[in-house]
Every structure is written in structure tokens, then in C-alpha cells.
Structure 1
Amino acid sequence: MTRVWDVSVGDSTLVRRAREAVEEAAVAAGLNPARAGDAALTATELATNAVKYAGGGRIVAEVARDDWGNARALQILALDHGPGILDVDRAMADGYSTGGSLGSGLGACARACDHFEVDSVPGRGTLALARIAAPEHRGRFSGPAVTGGLHLPLGGHPESGDGLAFRSGSGHRTVMLADGLGHGAAAAEASDAAAGTVRRQAGEPPEALLRLLHAELRSTRGAAVAVVDIDESAHRLTFCGVGNVGARLHSNGRWETLLSQPGIVGAFGLRTPVPQRRAWNRGDMLVLHTDGLPSRWSPEGIEGMVTRDAALIAGRVFRDAGSAARPLRDDTAVAVALHTERFDGKRA
């Protein structure tokens, strides 16, 4: 199941709680003591910065997978709605500080992590993404991920009722986001069953996967599910969804909403899934989200982050869709898929 460590850091007394939560998450990710220490250092720095400069924020830790589903890493995402950082590059340099400290915080985090990125918009807040892997898997997490996301369970529950799964192979990338009916352990059971099935059967057409998932989820309460197949050699994206998982595609300079058909996968009868096919080219972006995200959310402007890490973009979507004062109304998950060739011509 998707285990999430989500800690709100409103004052300095909660920094220790964030560190302890990340230490627990590091064990779940299979990190050795040295790498777990790097994770604890990173969490402490990010939580301290959120309190000192933004008046508070949240630290979200979970286990992330590589594109082939064979390696795991600890993912830490720090979010705040503070004043932002005017010059991120300068803030990352050792010796820079606006708070009278030695000024090595963000730079120390970057050195401790396999991948570390900061996104900050003055007046809207700051995001920091850290990924830390076991020594044998560090190379698989050393750059920006082209597929990733985050999970936020309702009410601080340790398990998310939403589930993201993705896997690459045979020239195809399969991405699935499931929203288990309701929330809590039973919802997590449904989304986890969907994720496990997709990891085993990745590469099947989305409509075939949905039919398979409908059978596999019969013993659960069911889920809303969106499945995507990306075939970059054919410049094609195929989407198929059932239920209320949202999908926004940015391609050819504009955003398009991809609609799912009504229903619940694993419950009652399933209408024949109808796939939607779209072009998929360099610079395109797909955002999937469960219904915990406010309906008023607009993707406009997110396309400017196309060269950034997919999970960092997902964090921006979540952060900008709400406010520090707005509590979650349901389990929330956001997933982002990017073209493997970025605008700078480099291949991820």
C-alpha cells in the first residue's frame, strides 16, 4: 500500500517530528544508516527553512520507484506558501543566508541527495524535492524523473487511498492513477491492487488493462482508474479512464481535458472502455489527479516547468491548487508524465 509520512511543520518544535518521520520512511525505502542519515539531515534543513522563512509548511515523504519498477528511493517533498526565494541559484550556494546562519542548508541538502531541486515563486511559496536511494540504486535516481507524483492522505492517515503506478518497457511507458472508493485502509487496498496489477502487466493497451483491473478489483470496494500508454517512437499517447480521475494534457501549445467515462472499476458492470489517442511530442506534459484536488484548479502556467522533475511539478500543482489554510477534503494524488526528450535536447 502507498505509505505516506505527512508532517505539518508550524513551528520549530515540530522539526524533530519531521526528521523522525523521514527516518522511519528511510527504513521503508531500504536505506542503510548512512543514507538514512542523509535523509534526516535533508528533512531537518527543509523543515527548519519552512519555519524560519515561510512561517511553516509541510514535509511529505514516500517511497518512489524508477521507470522500470525495479529500484526504490526515498522521496521528500517540502511545500510552503511563504514569500518565496528571489534567487534560488544564489540560495543554493554555500555561504548565502538571510537568517544569520552559516548559509550551507540548501547546498548541504543537494550534496546529501541523489537528486535535489528547488522551485520558488516570489509571493507564492517554495517547493523542494529530494530523492535519496540505496548505494546500489543511486544512478537510477540521479536526474529529473519524467514520471512521478505525490500522495496526500486525508486526515494524516498513514496510507493513501490513491495509488500511482508506472513502468517502462518494450518501447512503451504505462502510467496509472487509481482512486480507491472512499478513503482509509479499504480504499488503499483497492488502489494497491490496481497498482500491483499494472506493474505486472505494463505494456498492455489501456483499454485491455482496464478490463483486467475490473476483474482484479472485484474483491475490493473498487476504484476510479485512469490508464495511459505512451509510445514515443510513434509520437502517440493513449488515454483511457473510468470514474473521476482528472486528466489534463498540454500539447501543441494548449491544454486539453481528457474525459473519463462514468463507472467504478471492480464494481457493477463495466462499459466497454473507449481509448482516446493524442499526439505526444517533445515538450508535452500530462497531469493526472484524483478528486481531492479542488475543481477550480487550473493548469495554466504549469507547462513552463516542463524541464523540471515530474514529482516537483506535481507538488506545484498540489500547492497552487490550495492554500495553507485549506485542509484536505479527501485523499489527494497528483501524477505527472513528461516526454523523455526535454526542450534542452537532453534525454532523460
Structure 2
Amino acid sequence: MTEMVYGTVPVRSSDPILPRWWQTVDRWSLTAILILFGIGILLGLAASPPLAAKNGLAPFHYVQRQMLFGGMALVVMMITSMMAPSLVRRLGVLGFLGAFVALVMLPLLGTDFGKGAIRWYSLGFASVQPAEFLKPGFVVIAAWLMSASQEINGPPGRLYSFIIAITVVGFLVMQPDFGQASLVLFGWGVMYFVAGAPMFLLLSMAGLVVFGGMFAYNNSEHFARRIDGFLSADIDPTTQMGYATNAIQEGGFFGVGVGEGQVKWSLPDAHTDFIVAVAAEEYGLVLVLIIIALYMVITVRSLLRLMKERDTFIRLAGTGLACMFGVQAMINMGVAVRLLPAKGMTLPFVSYGGSSLIAGGVAVGMLLAFTRTRPQGEIIDHFARRGH
């Protein structure tokens, strides 16, 4: 609040790291993230006991695991947010390379857990989804290449970033995971737009996406089934979409009451992809609007702070992370209310899932690191540095 009223607090580089971090981090976004995590635990208490009973586990087995993975995610987020942008860039590139190798090896070593898409590695005690960890690393390496291309005698970084994006999307489509593929392509497009891409190229990319969607519809039974279900005028009440739609209608404005919802007993993914349906049924539109507002706070405040940033890499990487974070939340909630076809995408920091929580902690930690206030200097100094 002090920062909003009196402006940025001056920070000396000799200050201890924790006070310096607290004075420069975006505390509004940090608070919103912590509230989202708390809401996730609250909804987990409602949504996960039926699944635990079905699998013969203790009633709060999944809630305990969510608290464990969520705690790890918050620790990772805090540590990452304290790093300098240069260190975040190095670790992001290394993380991308590791996640990409894991993604490539999925057809040989991965499993689909009976869901029709090979997206996970089973470790016995847990599972890992490489695509979740790939996204923040991809944003960092793409932003690094795009910023390097703007330097005098710099490499053709935009072309390299495009090649990497298409390669990643290709491997994701092979799983198939069209949701994550679309999110990666969207993140690249946003960064390329901010970096000064011509509108003709962006329109061409949009046309390529439409063509790719038509090709996938005609050649992928998994993709076609989801599109047909979305376009159908009638909703089968025994499908996940039917259960979710009915739950949202039953919830109304204030909900049916804590613990009184019924959708969690019918939806197998009530604790992950359709967690918003549980929120809408038991707590009503009020909680859903609060969740939407929290995601808007994080996304909009991050973009506003990045508008003041003069370092090209920080501005591009931060914009990509903020937009992908906000759009992933929008996709998850859009699927729940049947505005979008089913994507199998979690709600960041709210849905259950070890990979999504920890990878979300990494991504948001990077975003907090990039949006920390730092001396910008005079604009002429910025151009002078680029000239050397």
C-alpha cells in the first residue's frame, strides 16, 4: 500500500536479501497467489473425499498431497522470485532443455493413465507432466532469443524462437495435448507481438492455427470427439460437461452450501479440470467472481509493471508468463461453463496436481522476479548500452 501511495521505495543493493525482496516484490500479486492457494485447499476439502473413497484411501488423502505439493510450490516460488533476472534466464534455459528431453521421451517411457493421451511419467508415488515444466522455460528461452535479435549484429533470434515453438507444439500434438500446444503457441505469439512482429505475420499464424485445427479434427479421434461434444446443441447429462453445467446452474448466486454439493460424486475430475464447478455449486457465483478477480489482479498488475520495464528480455519474458498464466485460468473456467471445448487443463494454484502446482510455482516465481521494482535509469542510458 505504501508503494501505491508514495511511489517506489528506494532500495540499496547492500540491504539484506529478504528486506530488499519485500520492498521490491509486487505484494498485491503475491497476496492474490496465496489467496488462490487457500481457495484451492478449501475446494479440495470439498472435491477430493469422494475420489479418495472410490480409490479406498483416507478421506483427505488428496488434500494432504495438495498441501504438500502446494507448500513445495510456494517455497520454489519464493526462492525463484528472489533471483536476479540473469539467473532466472540461465535456470530457465536449463529447465527448458531438461523438460524438452523429457517431452521427447514420453512416447517411449510415458503413460496415459487410461485417459487416451500419453502426457505423464509414473514415478509410483507421484506422476510428472513434462509439458507443465516446459512452459516457463520455453517463455524464457524465446524471450532471450527475441531480445538478442534486437541487438546490433544480433542473431536471428525471432526465427530461432519460431523454430523452437513449432518443434515444441509438434511434440505436444503427438501426445495429443492440443490445449498445452495452443497455450505455448499463444505465449510465443504474444511475445512476438510485443517484440514488434508485423501484423501480416500474426494473421498468417492465426490462419495456420485454423488449418492445424481442421487437420487435427480430421485425423485425431480424440480431438474430434471433444469438438463434436462442444458443438452439440444438446448436453448429455451423464458426461463431465453435463455434470458441470448442472452444478453451476444449481449453485446460483450464493451456492447450495458447504459440503452440500453433489457434482463431486459424479465428476471424476472434480478436483482438477472441473474444480470451478465445485466452487460454483457449493459457494455460488460469489466465489467464482472472487477467483476471476484474483487472476485479473495478478495478470493486469504484472503487465502494468512490465510496461515500465526497459530491459527487453525482462519485458518479453514477463509478458509471456503473465499472459499464459491468465489465459490458462480463462481456458479452464471457459471449459467448465462450456464456452470452450474440453482441454484437460488445470486451474493454476487451485486445481489438484503436483506437476501443475510446482511448475506454477516456478512460473509465478519467475514473473514476480521480473516484475520487481528496480532502478531503470535514464532512457538515453538504455540506448547507449544497446549501442555497445
Which TM-score applies when normalising by structure 2?
Answer: 0.23
* Greater RCO, CA 8 A, separation 6+: 2
Q: Which has the larger radius of gyration?
A: 2
* Greater strand fraction, Structure 1 or Structure 2: 1
* Greater helix fraction, Structure 1 or Structure 2: 2
